[in-house]
Amino acid sequence: MTASTTPGQEASDLEAASDRSKVDELLATLDAELVGLAPVKTRIREIAALLLVEKLRAEVGLTGGSPSLHMSFTGNPGTGKTTVALRMAEILHGLGYVRKGHLVAVTRDDLVGQFIGHTAPKTKDVLKRAMGGVLFIDEAYYLYRPENERDYGQEAIEIMLQVMEDQRDDLVVIVAGYKDRMDRFFQSNPGMSSRIAHHVDFPDYTPDELLAIAQLMLEQMQYRLSDSARRTLIEYIGIRRQQPNFANARSMRNGLDRARLRQANRLVEARGGQLTREQLMTIEAEDIRASRVFAGQGTAAEGDQ
């Protein structure tokens, strides 16, 4: 196959070009829709490049075996692990690595049964559903419970390992969770650790990134911030980040949802005259200022208020 003729070479280059543009398009949407996450984007770019090169190699008869693409996403809550997994499924589908490109998101409850003989069919069922796409296991460390040696989680892990090895072409497994707990999970399950080639760490968002995320969310919901509201939101982010149970982008969404509630309440109570489109769209500083985050300043704020 090394003696490739000129027309053949041309064809492969052309195909590569069209592939590349498709990948570029996918990566561009990723850049536009996801704020920050630089290390994650770099890794995705690398994987995309690898798959592209692998395709070109296959065309000239070089076989390196299909690369293993099982991944581990670690990071704090709300850093975009599920969202990236969803995008990853689309990208892998765009590159032709998985055939269908859907995402099946599961947790321990979907994999582990409650009595002897219940776990295997349950796990296999989930694996069959995920074939042709991506299986996303959230908080995967709950599968392994060292304190109970008869826990059925181990059985689920073993079945999964088997399929991850034998049917690598049929599905990609992504496990996700907090960094420290995932590290301990991998330490006690060397089989799992050795089958996962890509470990991607999701950093926490900086205040600027959180603001950008909030604005992106508001844009999607067709709201806008007044200038004073914007300043208040920056203040809000600064305080909220220091409080317990801070869940990055998810906390932002919850905060905005409550601001919407207060905005609606304010508009209804004001009552006087016609409401303009502008009024219906704008979130004012007082809508954010009324949040318990500001009230709880100094004292220990509880929950995601």
Other CB atoms within 10 Å distance of the CB of residue 115: 7
Residue 118 C-beta: closest distance to other proteins, Å: 12
Cβ distance to other proteins smaller for residue 37 or 130: 130
Provide the greatest CA pair distance for the chain: 81
| H or E segment and range at residue 228 | helix 227-242
Q: How far is the CB of 102 from other proteins (least distance, A)?
A: 5
DSSP tag of 142: G
Q: How far is the CB of 281 from other proteins (least distance, A)?
A: 40
Site for other proteins, rule CB under 8 A: 99-100, 102, 121, 125, 127-129, 131-133, 167, 170-171
3-state secondary structure of 289: helix
Shortest separation between residue 100's beta carbon and other proteins, angstroms: 5
For 86, the enclosing helix (H) or strand (E) is helix 81-94
Report in angstroms how near the CB of residue 82 gets to other proteins at its nearest: 19
| Residue closest to 35 by CA, chosen among 220, 174, 182, 198 | 220
Q: List the one residue out of 176, 131, 137 whose CA is nearest residue 157.
A: 137
Angle at 168 between CA 162 and CA 174, to 5 degrees: 85
Say if residues 251 and 304 touch (Cβ distance below 8 Å). Answer: yes
Closer Cβ to other proteins, 129 or 266, answer by number? 129
Q: Least CB distance from residue 132 to other proteins, whole Å? A: 3
Q: Which is nearer to other proteins, 47 or 127 (CB)?
A: 127
> In the complex with other proteins, which residue's Cβ is closer, 20 or 100?
100
By the 8 A CB rule, do 279 and 267 touch?
yes
Query: In the complex with other proteins, which residue's Cβ is closer, 110 or 286?
Result: 110
Fill in the amino acid letter for 295.
A
Residue closer to other proteins (CB basis): 111 or 210: 111
